[in-house]
Amino acid sequence: MSGNKGHITLTDEELLQAYRSSDNNQWLGYLLQRYTALLFGVAVKYLKDKSLAEDAVQQIFLKVLSRPPVEDIFNFKGWLYILMRNHCLQQLRDKNNISGDTALAYLPATEPDDEEMQWREQTLDHMNEAMTLLNEEQRKALSLFYLEKNSYEQIIAKTGYTFMQVKSFIQNGKRNLKHLLLKRTENRS
């Protein structure tokens, strides 16, 4: 069937089954071709740039073809959408994570005054103190996500937590941290 156009009439599930039974990436290629417009649309929506979106589509193609899905996928279109969305969000997060000489260009030309420096140091001290009051899992998840700029997948790999645990620890940790900082501010007033 790979030599003719029979793949056009096959469902996503049938194409995935054909891939799994033959281990031939051509079947995955047919699936990816089917959803190229969807992938491109998602990438443009998030990245706001057509050339970056085209690159993102190519990167997703390469990712899927080089590391095909091993788990059962019951909704390939939805799975692919989530994969592209997460890829775009990670690119946006990486783009905003500037370091080295590039970061120097974004520093203000004038030094902050002593009062502002003191306020910043106090705020950081309060934040560090509040972080120590969080439970271990929340503290670890927040540090890995916000301070070390790890993705959910990277946090899962480093900690062994499930996706839902990581999501919960980050959400609850943020809420608890905010509550602790507000409480501290109220006590100082």
Contacts for 25-32: CB closer than 8 Å, 24+ residues apart: 25/65, 25/68, 26/2, 27/2, 28/64, 28/65, 28/68, 29/65, 31/76, 31/80, 32/60, 32/61, 32/64, 32/65, 32/80
Q: Does residue 159 register a pLDDT over 90?
A: yes
DSSP 171-189: HHHHHHHHHHHHHHHHHH-
The pLDDT value recorded for residue 100 is: 47
Structure tokens at 12: 């996503």
Q: Does residue 119 register a pLDDT over 60?
A: yes
Q: How buried is residue 4: exposed, middle or buried, by Cβ count under 10 Å (0-12/13-18/19+)?
A: exposed
Average pLDDT over residues 11-36: 85
Domains of the chain, start order:
6-105 (1.10.1740), 114-188 (1.10.10.10)
**pLDDT tens, position by position, 160-189:** 999 999 999 999 988 888 888 777 766 655
Structure tokens at 184: 């501290």
Structure tokens at 134: 């969080």
Q: Does residue 139 register a pLDDT over 70?
A: yes
